[in-house]
Amino acid sequence: MANHGSGKLRVGVLYGGRSTEHEVSLRSAASVYRRLNRDKFDVSAIYIDKEGSWHWAAIPASFMQSNENSLPVSTSAPEVVFLPRPHKGSDGRNKAVFVHQSQANFGKREEVDVIVPMLHGQNCEDGRLQGLLDSAAVPYTGSGVLGSAIGMDKEISKRLAKMAGIPIVPYRIVRSWDSAATLESVMSDAEKSFSYPIFVKATREGSSVGVYKVKSRAEFLPAIQKAFGYDNKVLIEKGIPAREIEFSAMQNIDRSQKPLVSIAAEIIPTGEFYTYDAKYNDENGAIFKIPAEISKEQLATMTKLAQDIFIALELEGYARIDLFLDSKTGDYYLNEVNTLPGFTSISMFPKLFEESGIPYTELLTKLVDLAMSKSAK
């Protein structure tokens, strides 16, 4: 173990970020910061503000007993610079090194043994952050560069899944530089091939940001144009009468074993679909059935499918796997994967593992152990 006066690993919870999901990150980070096992870890917090500056966040001791559901935003906290190069501490382990920039502590260094990213969305879970951490040879939880980039891009995920024999919902792609004639052609093809309703999705956003349900031609092009406000690549997907079934998955430390998959949950939106507001702002936005009311055969099939998806998309550490179960045909489809899912105490990822027999704090310890094991290898 690293020695910081306590003989414990020093864990850095990284939160905030330049993303449309900045506020969601604060909520995930709050739960993780509180629930990391203090008998095993010294815990620090590093905040990335919306402009991309990094801060050494001094979280008050009172936060641990408070009811605040967001980790404090610390733009007034000392700004630090992350050193993107390998650095070994006196215990021989690679460290994440942060150097203070304020006049009072200029040049003071903070060392962290392992980073727990609680960041969501672009610039955070799309491989960019992971590449930065890899450049410094710093252990971190979750997928690496490749799995993160694949998981963030819904179209690339679909393309690779299809190549691996995993069923996907039919789709088309348009890009912001496509001509009006090209857009018209793709929309006409989608109408004929899919029929309404059709979903239009910004390809590299999470939490249903930039997702629109289209019911007519009059709504089609405006939805595409709105989605272009989030991404220059937009997915046009067939709407199917599907049940949304979700699994939590976690890599085994013994990598010769398939990923561990939780029990299943079903998400039943009370509105048109599971929107951002339904996920985070409307407490009545959805009904959650844990476990999902599916047969043993369906559970077995989807559990294996979740494992196959985890492997095919090069995921590591942990992820949430979202599947569709066609209500009419009983067919299964990949919906999407989330390589840095929400981690609040009521978020689906920790909740499903808790219901599967792995309590929240124990789950966090396992994820840190996975990160350290990967780094050691």
Same fold across 9-141 and 151-167+241-339 = no
Q: Please state, in angstroms and rounded to a whole number, the distance separating the CA atoms of residues 359 and 148.
A: 25
CATH superfamily of 171-238: ATP-grasp fold, A domain (3.30.1490.20)
The yes/no answer on whether domain 9-141 falls in CATH 3.40.220.10 is no
Give the residue carrying structure tokens 């590449």: 131
* 273 has a pLDDT exceeding 70: no
Query: What are the phi and psi torsion angles at 97 (to 5°)?
Result: -115, 130
* 296 has a pLDDT exceeding 50: yes
Q: Please state, in angstroms and rounded to a whole number, the distance separating the CA atoms of residues 122 and 124.
A: 5
CB under 8 Å to 25, separation ≥6 — which residues?
Answer: 15, 16, 17, 19, 118, 119, 120, 124
Q: Please state, in angstroms and rounded to a whole number, the distance separating the CA atoms of residues 10 and 36.
A: 11
Look at the domain 151-167+241-339 and name its fold: D-amino Acid Aminotransferase; Chain A, domain 1 (3.30.470)
- Mean pLDDT to the nearest integer, 118-138: 91
Could you tell me which residue, 337 or 74, shows the higher pLDDT? 337
Residue 1 pLDDT class (50, 70, 90 cuts) = very low
Could you tell me which residue, 98 or 24, shows the higher pLDDT? 98
Residue 2 pLDDT class (50, 70, 90 cuts) = very low
Distances (CA, A) of 49 to 54, 77, 96: 7, 11, 19
- Per domain, the residue ranges of the chain are 9-141, 151-167+241-339, 171-238
- Could you read off the pLDDT of 76-94 as tens digits, one per residue? 788 999 999 999 988 888 9
- Could you read off the pLDDT of 219-250 as tens digits, one per residue? 999 999 999 999 999 999 999 999 999 999 99
| 79-82/54-57 β-pairing | antiparallel
Distances (CA, A) of 195 to 198, 203, 220, 269, 374: 7, 21, 12, 22, 46
Give the residue carrying structure tokens 């499903």: 352
The structure's pTM equals 0.91
**Residue 219: what pLDDT?**
95
User: 3-state SS string over the chain?
Assistant: CCCCCCCCEEEEEEEECCCCCHHHHHHHHHHHHHHCCCCCEEEEEEEECCCCCEEEECCCHHHHHCCCCCCCCCCCCCEEEECCCCCECCCCCECEEEEECCCCCCCCEEEECEEEEECCCCCCCCCHHHHHHHHCCCCECCCCHHHHHHHHCHHHHHHHHHHCCCCECCEEEEECCCCHHHHHHHHHHHHHHHCCCEEEEECCCCCCCCEEEECCHHHHHHHHHHHHCCCCEEEEEECCCEEEEEEEEECCCCCCCCCEECCCEEEEECCCCCCHHHHHCCCCCEEEECCCCCCHHHHHHHHHHHHHHHHHCCCCCEEEEEEEEECCCCCEEEEEEECCCCCCCCCHHHHHHHHCCCCHHHHHHHHHHHHHHHHHC
